[in-house]
Amino acid sequence: MSKTPDSGKAEDDQPSTVEQYLVKDPERFALNMARMIEQAGKAASAWAEPREKGDVRDHVAEPVVDMVKTFSKLSEYWLADPQRALEAQTRLFSGYMTVWANAIQRTSNAAQDTEDAVKPERGDKRFLDPEWGRNAFFDFLKQAYLVTSRWAADLVEHAEGLDEHTRHKAGFYVKQVSNAISPSNFILTNPELFRETVASNGENLVRGMKMLAEDIAAGKGDLKLRQADYSPFEIGRNIATTPGKVVGRSDVAEIIQYEPATETVLKRPLLICPPWINKFYILDLNPQKSFIRWAVEQGHTVFVISWVNPDERHGTKSWEAYIREGLQYGLDTVEKATGERDVNAIGYCVGGTLLAAALALMAQEGDDRIKSATFFTTQVDFTYAGDLKVFVDEEQVAAVEKSMSEKGYLDGTKMATAFNMLRSGDLIWPYVVNNYMRGKDPLPFDLLYWNADSTRMAAANHSFYLRNCYLENNLSQGTMELAGRTVSLGDITIPVYNLASKEDHIAPALSVFLGSKYFGGTVEYVMAGSGHIAGVVNPPASNKYQYWTGGTPTGDFSQWIANATDHPGSWWPHWQGWIEAKDNTRVPARKPGKHMKTLGDAPGTYVKVRV
C-alpha cells in the first residue's frame, strides 16, 4: 500500500470498520431527517419567493448554453475521427481497468504493495482522510474520479484545431465540472461526511440546511455562500481603522485623507485608485496588514478613492465619468487639501487599468499632475488575460449587458461568483461541504469578510470595461476612445512601477509583463510571490514570500525570470526606495481639514453600503 500523504492512503495499518458507518439510533436519525427536510423547505421558499414576486430573474440558461456549445466543439474534434475517438475511450477504459484491478488486489494479501492508478495533485486536501486509502469502497471512488477528471482534462489539452479561446473555456468548464462531481462533495461518497452524519444522527444536515436557507435569504434569492464568520467584523471599528477624514465626495467616489504619523512627509502626496469590484479596504484590513497605514508611517500623505456602491442612479456612469468624477476629482481634492499639484499615484487591478487609461487621456489634455504611477497586479494588455477571459465573448457580453439594462447595474453576487469560480476548489466546494453538509460555521477571517463585501457594477462602466479591455483589447492597441479622443499608452512618459504576482489568476504575471512595453517611459517591473491579494498585501513584518527584480521588461518572460534577482520578504520597502529616488523632498506633516471642510471620519459612508 502506498503511504505517501498525497495518495490519500492511511498512515497506519488500522483496518476500516463497518460499524462506524452504521446508524446507532434510527429513531433520532429519522427525526433529524424530517427536521432537515423542513429546513430544506425553508431554503426552497427563500429561493422561490423573490422569483414569484418578480424581484429575481434567472439567467442560468446563458452560461449553461455557452458550456454546452463549448463542449460540443470539443466533442466534434474527438468524434470526427473514429480512430481518435476509440483511442480516447481506450485510455479511459484502461484507467478504469487499473482501478478495478487495484480494488481486487486490495482484498488479497498483496494489498500492501498496491499502487494507486493515479494520485491526487500535491496540495489537494480533499482526500486526506485515512479512509480514502484504507477503505476499499472509498479508495475505488477516489481513484475512479481522479482517472476520469484527468482524462477529461487531457481531452482538452490534446484537442488539435481548437481556437485558443474555445480551448481556454473548455479547460475551465471541465475543471468546474470535475470540482463539482468530486466524491468528496457528497455524504455517501465522502467517508468523513458519512461518519459525521452517522455519529450525530443527521444533526449536521439539519444545521447545514438551516445555514443554506439563511444564505439564500441573505442573497435575496441567490445563494450568498458564506466563507467566514462575518459577525466579529465591523467596518471602522476593527477593520479599515487607519485614522483619517473624508475630504471630498462626488457621485461616484469619496476621497479620504489619512492622518499623518510622522513629523515630516514627502512633498508629493500619494493618491490610491483601488478597484471598484470590491471595497478599497483590502489595503487597510487591520493595522498589521494595512498598506495604507504602512505608507502613512513611511511619510506619505495618503489619499484614497472610496468608490460608490452603484445603484439605478449610476447606470449611465461611464469610464469617462469614473475618470472625471473619481480620479481627476481626487487630484483636485489633493491639490485643495495640500496645495500640491505634483502627485504620486497607485492603481490596483481594474483601478490600475482605469489609471492607465486616464493617464493616456490626461497626457493629450495637458494634465500632468501625476508624476509617477504604480500599478498593482494591473493589466493594460489583455492578450494573455487570466481565467476571467472565459466569461468574455460577444454572446456572453451581450447577455451581461441585457441583464444590466434591467436595473442599471450588475448584482455584486454575480461578480463574486465569477471570481470564486476561478478557484472553485478552494473558494466554493470546501465551504459547501463545511457549511451545508457538516453544518459547521466557518471561522472568522478578515480577508474573506472583505471578499464577500462585493459591490454592484454600474452598467455603462462595466460594459465599457468588458468590451474595450477583455473583448477588443483597445487600450494596448491604441484604439480606446475616451472623451472624444483616441488614447495611447505610449503617451504615458512618467516613471512606472509595475507590480505583478507570480501566482495571480486574475492578472497573470505574464500579462502584466507584456503590458509593460506599451508605456512610453521607463518601467520598473517587479514580480511578487503568491497571488492577486497576498502578493500585494504582504507587510514587511510578516517576512513572507519574496519578490523578483530584473532588467527592462522586454523579450521573453521566462528569460527575464531566469535572470531576475530573488529577494526574500516584502516588496514594499523596494517600492518606497523607488518612490524616494524620484523625489524625497520633505515638508511638515499635513493634517486633514486644515485647508478645507471635512465630511466625516474615515472610512467614510460609501464603503458601508452593502449589496
Q: How far apart, in whole angstroms, are the C-alpha atoms of residue 120 and residue 487?
A: 48
Q: Running DSSP on this structure, what letter comes out for residue 442?
A: P
Higher pLDDT, 386 or 565: 565
Q: How far apart, in whole angstroms, are the C-alpha atoms of residue 492 and residue 498?
A: 13
Total domains present in the chain: 2
Q: How far apart, in whole angstroms, are the C-alpha atoms of residue 195 and residue 131?
A: 10
Claim to verify: residue 471 and residue 577 sit in the same structural domain: yes
Claim to verify: residue 250 and residue 396 sit in the same structural domain: yes
Q: Is the pLDDT of residue 68 over 60?
A: yes
Confidence at 7, pLDDT banded by 50, 70, 90? very low
Confidence at 61, pLDDT banded by 50, 70, 90? low
Contact 467/456 with Cβ under 8 angstroms?
A: no
Average pLDDT for 189-196 = 96
Single-letter code of the amino acid located at 64? V
For residue 245, the model assigns a pLDDT of: 98
Q: Is the pLDDT of residue 1 over 90?
A: no
Q: Is the pLDDT of residue 232 over 90?
A: yes
Q: Is the pLDDT of residue 11 over 80?
A: no
Claim to verify: residue 168 and residue 290 sit in the same structural domain: no
Per-residue pLDDT tens digits for 265-303? 999 999 999 999 999 999 999 999 999 999 999 999 999
Q: How far apart, in whole angstroms, are the C-alpha atoms of residue 295 and residue 43?
A: 46
Q: How far apart, in whole angstroms, are the C-alpha atoms of residue 404 and residue 315?
A: 8
Claim to verify: residue 423 and residue 521 sit in the same structural domain: yes
Q: Is the pLDDT of residue 57 over 70?
A: yes
Whether 576 is in a domain gets the answer yes
Claim to verify: residue 471 and residue 517 sit in the same structural domain: yes
Average pLDDT for 60-78 = 81
Whether 49 is in a domain gets the answer yes
Claim to verify: residue 438 and residue 558 sit in the same structural domain: yes
Residue 149 has which C-alpha cell?
Answer: 477528471
Per-residue pLDDT tens digits for 578-607? 999 999 999 999 999 988 999 999 999 999
Whole-structure pTM value:
0.90
Claim to verify: residue 82 and residue 44 sit in the same structural domain: yes
Handedness of CA 82, 88, 92, 98 (dihedral sign): positive
Instruction: Read off the CATH number of the domain in which 384 is found.
Output: 3.40.50.1820
Whether 231 is in a domain gets the answer no
Per-residue pLDDT tens digits for 463-510? 999 999 999 999 999 999 999 999 999 999 999 999 999 999 999 999
Claim to verify: residue 337 and residue 189 sit in the same structural domain: no
Query: N- to C-terminal Cα distance for the chain?
Result: 51
Range ranked top by mean pLDDT from 80-84, 372-376, 411-415: 372-376
| Per-position b or e across 252-287, b if 16+ CB within 10 A of its CB | bbbbbbbbbbeeebbebbbbbbbbbbbbbbbbbbbe
Q: Which of 117, 349, 437, 494 is catalytic?
A: 349
Other CB atoms closer than 10 Å to residue 144's CB: what's the count? 18
Claim to verify: residue 208 and residue 288 sit in the same structural domain: no
Shortest CA distance to 268 belongs to which of 338, 348, 323, 366? Answer: 338
Radius of gyration, CA atoms only, the chain = 27
Whether 4 is in a domain gets the answer no
CA dihedral 527, 530, 535, 539 (to 10 degrees): -110
Claim to verify: residue 420 and residue 557 sit in the same structural domain: yes
Roughly what angle, to the nearest 10 degrees, separates helices 203-218 and 26-52? 10
Q: How far apart, in whole angstroms, are the C-alpha atoms of residue 231 and residue 467?
A: 38
Does 349 participate in catalysis according to the annotation? yes
Judging by DSSP bridges, how do beta strands 370-376 and 496-501 pair with one another? parallel
Shortest CA distance to 416 belongs to which of 264, 570, 611? Answer: 611
Residue 130 has which C-alpha cell?
Answer: 485515512
Whether 588 is in a domain gets the answer yes
Per-chain mean pLDDT for the chain: 92
Claim to verify: residue 385 and residue 270 sit in the same structural domain: yes
SS3 (DSSP) at 422: helix
Pick from 184, 217, 250: which residue ends a domain? 217
For residue 10, the model assigns a pLDDT of: 40
User: Cell 493617464 appears where?
Assistant: 359
For residue 194, the model assigns a pLDDT of: 96
Q: Work out the burial of residue 433: count CB atoms within 10 Å of its CB; fewer than 13 is exposed, 13-18 middle, 19 or more buried.
A: buried
Q: Is the pLDDT of residue 110 over 70?
A: no
Domain containing 293: what range?
242-606
Q: How far is CA 290 from CA 90, 126, 240, 283, in A?
A: 55, 33, 8, 5
Whether 229 is in a domain gets the answer no
Per-residue pLDDT tens digits for 366-384? 999 999 999 999 999 999 9
Contact 352/481 with Cβ under 8 angstroms?
A: no
CA dihedral 509, 512, 513, 514 (to 10 degrees): 120
Q: How far apart, in whole angstroms, are the C-alpha atoms of residue 452 and residue 173?
A: 23
Give the DSSP per-residue string, 234-292.
Answer: -BTTTBS---EEEEEE-SSEEEEEEPP-SSEEESS-EEEE--SSB-GGGG-SSTTT-HH
Whether 2 is in a domain gets the answer no
Single-letter code of the amino acid located at 518? Y
Whether 121 is in a domain gets the answer yes
For residue 580, the model assigns a pLDDT of: 98
Shortest CA distance to 315 belongs to which of 113, 411, 199, 458? Answer: 458
Q: Is the pLDDT of residue 398 over 80?
A: yes
Between vectors from CA 258 to CA 252 and to CA 264, what angle results, nearest 5°?
140
Claim to verify: residue 207 and residue 254 sit in the same structural domain: no
Percent of the chain with pLDDT over 70: 95
Confidence at 101, pLDDT banded by 50, 70, 90? confident
